[in-house]
Amino acid sequence: MANSQSPKRVALVTGGSSGIGEATAEALAKEGYVVYAAARRVERMERLKPFGCIPIKMDVTKDEDLTRVVDQITCDHGGVDILVNNAGLSVYGSVEEVPVDTARYQFDVNFFGLGRLTQLVLPHMREQGWGKIVNVSSGEGKVHAPLAAWYVASKFALEGFSDCLRAETAQFGIDVVVIEPGAIDTEITGGFIDPLLETSGSGPYASIAQGMAAWFRNMSAERGTASPPSLIADTIMEAVTAARPKTRYAAGVGVRRMIFFRQWMSDRMFDRAIMRMLE
Protein backbone atom coordinates (compact mmCIF):
# COMPACT_ATOMS: atom_id res chain seq x y z
CA MET A 1 0.00 0.00 0.00
CA ALA A 2 2.76 2.47 0.90
CA ASN A 3 4.37 4.47 -1.89
CA SER A 4 8.12 4.44 -2.52
CA GLN A 5 8.64 7.36 -0.15
CA SER A 6 6.60 6.02 2.75
CA PRO A 7 9.26 4.17 4.82
CA LYS A 8 11.07 7.46 5.54
CA ARG A 9 7.98 9.60 6.06
CA VAL A 10 7.17 10.71 9.59
CA ALA A 11 3.56 10.77 10.79
CA LEU A 12 2.03 12.39 13.85
CA VAL A 13 -1.39 11.07 14.91
CA THR A 14 -3.33 12.87 17.63
CA GLY A 15 -5.87 11.12 19.80
CA GLY A 16 -3.73 8.01 19.54
CA SER A 17 -4.81 6.36 22.80
CA SER A 18 -8.03 4.82 21.48
CA GLY A 19 -10.45 4.41 18.60
CA ILE A 20 -9.64 5.90 15.22
CA GLY A 21 -6.31 7.39 16.33
CA GLU A 22 -5.05 4.12 17.76
CA ALA A 23 -6.12 2.15 14.68
CA THR A 24 -4.56 4.73 12.35
CA ALA A 25 -1.24 4.80 14.19
CA GLU A 26 -1.08 1.01 14.02
CA ALA A 27 -1.93 0.96 10.31
CA LEU A 28 0.69 3.58 9.45
CA ALA A 29 3.39 1.80 11.47
CA LYS A 30 2.64 -1.52 9.78
CA GLU A 31 3.23 0.15 6.42
CA GLY A 32 6.68 1.35 7.41
CA TYR A 33 6.07 4.93 8.47
CA VAL A 34 7.75 6.46 11.48
CA VAL A 35 4.73 7.08 13.70
CA TYR A 36 4.35 9.29 16.74
CA ALA A 37 1.06 8.58 18.53
CA ALA A 38 0.08 11.51 20.71
CA ALA A 39 -2.49 11.71 23.51
CA ARG A 40 -2.91 12.85 27.10
CA ARG A 41 -3.12 9.23 28.32
CA VAL A 42 0.29 8.08 27.20
CA GLU A 43 0.07 4.89 29.27
CA ARG A 44 -2.82 3.70 27.10
CA MET A 45 -0.59 3.69 24.02
CA GLU A 46 1.76 0.98 25.29
CA ARG A 47 0.08 -1.56 23.02
CA LEU A 48 1.25 0.44 19.99
CA LYS A 49 4.94 0.05 20.82
CA PRO A 50 5.30 -3.48 19.36
CA PHE A 51 4.23 -2.06 15.99
CA GLY A 52 7.03 0.51 16.17
CA CYS A 53 4.93 3.49 17.21
CA ILE A 54 6.42 6.13 19.48
CA PRO A 55 3.90 7.17 22.15
CA ILE A 56 4.18 10.79 23.22
CA LYS A 57 2.22 12.74 25.79
CA MET A 58 0.36 15.73 24.39
CA ASP A 59 -2.72 17.77 25.27
CA VAL A 60 -3.93 19.51 22.11
CA THR A 61 -5.28 22.43 24.15
CA LYS A 62 -1.84 23.30 25.57
CA ASP A 63 0.46 25.27 23.30
CA GLU A 64 3.54 24.24 25.24
CA ASP A 65 2.70 20.56 24.61
CA LEU A 66 2.20 21.11 20.88
CA THR A 67 5.46 23.03 20.56
CA ARG A 68 7.40 20.47 22.59
CA VAL A 69 6.17 17.55 20.50
CA VAL A 70 6.85 19.19 17.14
CA ASP A 71 10.29 20.31 18.34
CA GLN A 72 11.10 16.77 19.46
CA ILE A 73 10.01 15.24 16.15
CA THR A 74 11.98 17.89 14.27
CA CYS A 75 15.06 17.14 16.33
CA ASP A 76 14.72 13.37 15.90
CA HIS A 77 13.54 13.12 12.28
CA GLY A 78 13.58 16.56 10.66
CA GLY A 79 9.88 17.31 10.95
CA VAL A 80 6.33 16.03 10.53
CA ASP A 81 5.52 14.89 6.99
CA ILE A 82 2.02 13.54 7.68
CA LEU A 83 -0.29 15.05 10.28
CA VAL A 84 -3.48 13.21 11.24
CA ASN A 85 -5.59 15.59 13.31
CA ASN A 86 -7.84 13.08 15.01
CA ALA A 87 -8.14 14.19 18.65
CA GLY A 88 -11.74 15.14 19.36
CA LEU A 89 -14.40 15.75 21.96
CA SER A 90 -18.19 15.63 21.67
CA VAL A 91 -20.35 17.91 23.80
CA TYR A 92 -24.11 17.37 23.57
CA GLY A 93 -26.91 19.34 25.15
CA SER A 94 -29.07 22.32 24.27
CA VAL A 95 -27.42 25.59 23.30
CA GLU A 96 -29.13 27.20 26.28
CA GLU A 97 -27.98 24.68 28.87
CA VAL A 98 -24.40 23.80 27.90
CA PRO A 99 -22.07 26.05 29.95
CA VAL A 100 -20.15 28.40 27.70
CA ASP A 101 -16.84 27.28 29.26
CA THR A 102 -17.67 23.71 28.21
CA ALA A 103 -18.52 24.90 24.72
CA ARG A 104 -15.27 26.85 24.56
CA TYR A 105 -13.29 23.76 25.58
CA GLN A 106 -15.08 21.84 22.82
CA PHE A 107 -13.63 24.31 20.31
CA ASP A 108 -10.21 24.27 21.96
CA VAL A 109 -9.99 20.50 21.39
CA ASN A 110 -11.74 20.15 18.03
CA PHE A 111 -10.64 23.34 16.32
CA PHE A 112 -8.12 25.70 17.91
CA GLY A 113 -5.71 22.99 19.10
CA LEU A 114 -5.85 21.39 15.67
CA GLY A 115 -5.26 24.74 14.01
CA ARG A 116 -2.26 25.57 16.18
CA LEU A 117 -0.67 22.15 15.59
CA THR A 118 -1.18 22.63 11.87
CA GLN A 119 0.63 25.97 12.05
CA LEU A 120 3.59 24.31 13.71
CA VAL A 121 4.05 21.55 11.12
CA LEU A 122 3.47 23.65 8.00
CA PRO A 123 6.94 25.28 7.71
CA HIS A 124 8.66 21.89 7.32
CA MET A 125 6.10 20.64 4.81
CA ARG A 126 6.28 23.87 2.83
CA GLU A 127 10.07 23.93 2.73
CA GLN A 128 10.33 20.33 1.52
CA GLY A 129 7.49 20.75 -1.00
CA TRP A 130 5.45 17.81 0.29
CA GLY A 131 3.03 17.05 3.08
CA LYS A 132 -0.28 15.48 4.02
CA ILE A 133 -2.69 16.97 6.53
CA VAL A 134 -5.65 14.73 7.33
CA ASN A 135 -8.40 16.34 9.40
CA VAL A 136 -10.90 13.96 10.98
CA SER A 137 -14.24 15.73 10.90
CA SER A 138 -17.60 13.94 11.12
CA GLY A 139 -20.77 13.37 9.17
CA GLU A 140 -21.98 16.12 11.48
CA GLY A 141 -19.58 18.44 9.75
CA LYS A 142 -22.20 18.48 7.00
CA VAL A 143 -25.42 17.62 8.84
CA HIS A 144 -27.03 19.33 11.81
CA ALA A 145 -28.95 17.75 14.69
CA PRO A 146 -30.75 19.09 17.77
CA LEU A 147 -28.76 19.18 21.02
CA ALA A 148 -25.51 18.92 19.07
CA ALA A 149 -24.95 22.59 18.23
CA TRP A 150 -21.58 23.07 19.91
CA TYR A 151 -20.14 19.83 18.48
CA VAL A 152 -21.63 20.40 15.02
CA ALA A 153 -20.35 23.98 15.00
CA SER A 154 -16.80 22.81 15.74
CA LYS A 155 -16.95 20.34 12.85
CA PHE A 156 -18.55 22.82 10.44
CA ALA A 157 -15.69 25.16 11.34
CA LEU A 158 -13.15 22.41 10.66
CA GLU A 159 -14.63 21.75 7.22
CA GLY A 160 -14.33 25.41 6.21
CA PHE A 161 -10.87 25.70 7.73
CA SER A 162 -9.73 22.67 5.72
CA ASP A 163 -11.06 24.08 2.45
CA CYS A 164 -9.21 27.37 2.99
CA LEU A 165 -6.01 25.57 4.04
CA ARG A 166 -6.17 23.29 0.99
CA ALA A 167 -6.34 26.28 -1.36
CA GLU A 168 -3.48 28.05 0.43
CA THR A 169 -1.04 25.15 0.57
CA ALA A 170 -1.58 23.36 -2.75
CA GLN A 171 1.17 25.49 -4.30
CA PHE A 172 3.65 23.89 -1.88
CA GLY A 173 2.71 20.29 -2.67
CA ILE A 174 0.69 19.87 0.53
CA ASP A 175 -2.54 17.85 0.42
CA VAL A 176 -5.32 18.66 2.88
CA VAL A 177 -7.92 15.93 3.29
CA VAL A 178 -11.13 15.81 5.32
CA ILE A 179 -12.38 12.49 6.72
CA GLU A 180 -16.11 12.35 7.55
CA PRO A 181 -16.85 9.28 9.70
CA GLY A 182 -20.37 8.04 10.25
CA ALA A 183 -21.32 5.94 13.28
CA ILE A 184 -18.06 4.49 14.59
CA ASP A 185 -17.66 2.25 17.62
CA THR A 186 -15.44 4.56 19.71
CA GLU A 187 -15.43 6.28 23.10
CA ILE A 188 -16.55 9.56 21.58
CA THR A 189 -19.58 7.89 20.00
CA GLY A 190 -20.67 5.79 22.95
CA GLY A 191 -19.91 7.99 25.92
CA PHE A 192 -22.11 11.01 25.34
CA ILE A 193 -25.55 9.76 26.45
CA ASP A 194 -25.08 10.22 30.20
CA PRO A 195 -23.60 13.74 29.85
CA LEU A 196 -26.40 14.64 27.44
CA LEU A 197 -29.05 13.58 29.93
CA GLU A 198 -27.23 15.29 32.78
CA THR A 199 -27.25 18.56 30.84
CA SER A 200 -30.66 18.50 29.13
CA GLY A 201 -32.49 15.39 30.32
CA SER A 202 -34.76 17.08 32.87
CA GLY A 203 -35.15 20.67 31.70
CA PRO A 204 -37.13 22.37 28.94
CA TYR A 205 -35.43 20.24 26.27
CA ALA A 206 -35.97 16.94 28.10
CA SER A 207 -38.28 15.40 25.50
CA ILE A 208 -35.67 15.81 22.75
CA ALA A 209 -32.85 14.61 25.01
CA GLN A 210 -34.77 11.53 26.11
CA GLY A 211 -35.71 10.77 22.50
CA MET A 212 -32.11 11.12 21.36
CA ALA A 213 -30.82 8.90 24.16
CA ALA A 214 -33.44 6.23 23.36
CA TRP A 215 -32.59 6.37 19.67
CA PHE A 216 -28.87 5.85 20.28
CA ARG A 217 -29.52 3.08 22.79
CA ASN A 218 -31.67 1.29 20.22
CA MET A 219 -28.95 1.71 17.63
CA SER A 220 -26.36 0.28 20.01
CA ALA A 221 -28.56 -2.74 20.68
CA GLU A 222 -28.73 -3.58 16.98
CA ARG A 223 -25.95 -5.26 15.06
CA GLY A 224 -24.25 -3.37 12.27
CA THR A 225 -25.15 0.08 13.53
CA ALA A 226 -21.56 1.25 14.05
CA SER A 227 -18.43 0.62 12.02
CA PRO A 228 -15.09 -0.39 13.58
CA PRO A 229 -12.37 2.27 13.90
CA SER A 230 -10.24 0.21 11.50
CA LEU A 231 -12.57 1.25 8.66
CA ILE A 232 -11.62 4.90 9.15
CA ALA A 233 -7.96 3.95 9.59
CA ASP A 234 -8.10 2.20 6.21
CA THR A 235 -9.74 5.28 4.71
CA ILE A 236 -7.01 7.52 6.13
CA MET A 237 -4.38 5.16 4.71
CA GLU A 238 -6.03 5.46 1.30
CA ALA A 239 -5.77 9.25 1.51
CA VAL A 240 -2.19 9.22 2.78
CA THR A 241 -0.89 6.86 0.09
CA ALA A 242 -2.78 8.37 -2.85
CA ALA A 243 -0.71 10.48 -5.23
CA ARG A 244 -3.73 12.75 -5.65
CA PRO A 245 -6.15 12.11 -2.77
CA LYS A 246 -9.76 13.20 -2.81
CA THR A 247 -10.52 16.30 -0.79
CA ARG A 248 -13.11 14.40 1.30
CA TYR A 249 -13.75 10.80 2.26
CA ALA A 250 -17.05 9.81 3.90
CA ALA A 251 -17.02 6.36 5.51
CA GLY A 252 -18.95 4.47 8.16
CA VAL A 253 -22.51 3.37 8.79
CA GLY A 254 -25.12 5.78 7.47
CA VAL A 255 -22.90 8.77 6.71
CA ARG A 256 -23.18 8.87 2.91
CA ARG A 257 -26.94 8.47 3.01
CA MET A 258 -27.22 11.16 5.69
CA ILE A 259 -25.13 13.64 3.68
CA PHE A 260 -27.11 12.85 0.52
CA PHE A 261 -30.47 13.52 2.15
CA ARG A 262 -29.21 16.72 3.76
CA GLN A 263 -27.98 17.94 0.38
CA TRP A 264 -31.33 17.42 -1.34
CA MET A 265 -33.78 18.27 1.46
CA SER A 266 -34.72 21.80 2.37
CA ASP A 267 -33.71 23.01 5.84
CA ARG A 268 -37.22 22.64 7.27
CA MET A 269 -37.80 19.25 5.64
CA PHE A 270 -34.60 17.95 7.20
CA ASP A 271 -35.55 19.47 10.57
CA ARG A 272 -38.85 17.59 10.49
CA ALA A 273 -37.20 14.33 9.46
CA ILE A 274 -34.69 14.53 12.31
CA MET A 275 -37.33 15.40 14.90
CA ARG A 276 -39.56 12.50 13.81
CA MET A 277 -36.67 10.12 14.43
CA LEU A 278 -36.51 11.31 18.05
CA GLU A 279 -40.21 11.01 18.89
Mean pLDDT of 62-87: 98
Q: Is the pLDDT of residue 7 over 50?
A: no
CA distances from 163 to 34, 168, 169, 175, 176 (A): 27, 9, 10, 11, 8
Confidence of residue 252 (pLDDT cuts 50, 70, 90): confident
Q: Which domain does 86 fall in, by range?
A: 6-277
What pLDDT does residue 183 have? 81
Identified catalytic residue from 36, 151, 205, 249:
151
Q: Is the pLDDT of residue 2 over 70?
A: no
What pLDDT does residue 220 have? 59
What pLDDT does residue 279 have? 77
What pLDDT does residue 191 have? 66
Residue 130 maps to a domain:
yes
Mean pLDDT of 56-61: 97
Q: Note if 151 is an active site residue.
A: yes
Q: What is the pLDDT of residues 170-188, one digit of tens each?
A: 999 999 999 999 888 765 5
What pLDDT does residue 82 have? 98
Of residues 224 and 9, more confidently modeled: 9
Q: Which of 45-59, 63-77, 207-221, 245-259 has the lowest mean pLDDT?
A: 207-221
Q: Is the pLDDT of residue 81 over 90?
A: yes
Q: What is the pLDDT of residues 115-172, one digit of tens each?
A: 999 999 999 999 999 999 999 999 999 999 999 999 999 999 999 999 999 999 999 9
pLDDT > 90 fraction of the chain, expressed in percent and rounded: 81
Residue 166 maps to a domain:
yes
Q: How far apart are CA 254 and CA 11, in angstroms?
A: 29
What is the DSSP track for 28-64?
HHHTT-EEEEEES-GGGGGGGGGGT-EEEE--TT-HH
Question: How far is residue 105 CA from its own chain's centroid?
Answer: 16
The CATH number of whichever domain residue 109 belongs to comes to 3.40.50.720
Q: How far apart are CA 248 and CA 142, in angstroms?
A: 11
Number of domains within the chain: 1
Q: What is the pLDDT of residues 224-238, one digit of tens each?
A: 567 889 999 999 999
What pLDDT does residue 227 have? 84
267, burial (CB in 10 Å: exposed 0-12, middle 13-18, buried 19+):
exposed
7, burial (CB in 10 Å: exposed 0-12, middle 13-18, buried 19+):
exposed
CA distances from 54 to 132, 175, 229, 233, 271 (A): 19, 24, 20, 18, 45
